[in-house]
Amino acid sequence: MKQIRSSRFLVPPRQRVRLSQYDPADTTPFTTEQEAKGLLKKATKRLHELTEILYAQDRWSLLLIFQAMDAAGKDSAIKHVMRGLDPKATQVFSFKAPSHEELDHDFMWRSLKALPERGRIGVFNRSYYEEVLVVRVHPELLQQQHLPAVRVTSQIWRQRYEDIRDIERYLCRNGTIIRKLFLNVSRAEQRRRFLARLDDPAKNWKFSINDVDERLRWDDYMRAYELALGATSTRTAPWFVIPADNKWFTRLAVAKVIIETLESVDLHFPPVDRRKRRELAQARRRLRAT
């Protein structure tokens, strides 16, 4: 059966990134969605098995960070991949524009409060990376953060990359596995999806005129993503550039990254000691007698 090599989506640590080198329409080794259906079904089953063990072992946690341009399919990918995860072992947080309370704290504060517990998978729909993406494209937003003027210098973006790397390294050292996924949609496909939202009354609510305004800054955003991915993809917390023009392939590629990640650590059900075995034997005898 054909397989996806997720390593081809990997952003090498601390290397210059050129998104033009990543094809948003890539579906290799498949040419049609029909070819991949069997593999997606198997991936869903395997994901559920792994999350069950993760929850039972209660040692590791997994943080999945999704970032993308509007209409890249983050919600869709998260919804479909979550179907393959054990519900009690997963939690999803969507980060929108920061509130007044959040702006009165450091930019990591609201995300750190939402980190997954041991045994769980936490999914961030957008994240603290908005601070080096949206805020970098719109530096006037820094004025809302109540930072001391002496801290807002030409080095602020380099410093934020450094802070992010340090915090992610700290989390990894304490048992949180981090995988970051940039859903790479083409500008043409984004336009098509925006028009589909306008044409479908059931999807009108998803559209904002601000989406068009941000689309006009496409090149600025691509540059911000290239800089952020290059500066913060590390061996322990890597970025993956996932092709997003075909939603079926996006879901499969995301599932593959998660499966390979969970299979790379020592997951196993907790061992049963002698006392526990006695309890189980007693429970079996009592159940047979009732």
Please tell me what DSSP assigns to residue 14: T
What's the CA gap between 184 and 250, in Å, rounded?
Answer: 9
Residue 155 has pLDDT above 70, yes or no: yes
pTM (two decimals): 0.93
Residue 262's pLDDT is 96
What's the CA gap between 63 and 50, in Å, rounded?
Answer: 15
- Ordered domains of the chain (ranges, CATH): 6-289 (3.40.50.300)
pLDDT digits (tens, 9 = 90+) for 132-153: 999 999 999 999 999 999 999 9
> Is 125:100 a contact under the CB 8 Å cutoff?
no
Residue 1 has pLDDT above 80, yes or no: no
Residue 265 has pLDDT above 90, yes or no: yes
Please tell me what DSSP assigns to residue 5: -
Residue 18 has pLDDT above 70, yes or no: yes
What's the CA gap between 96 and 127, in Å, rounded?
Answer: 9
pLDDT digits (tens, 9 = 90+) for 87-122: 888 999 999 999 999 999 999 999 999 999 999 999
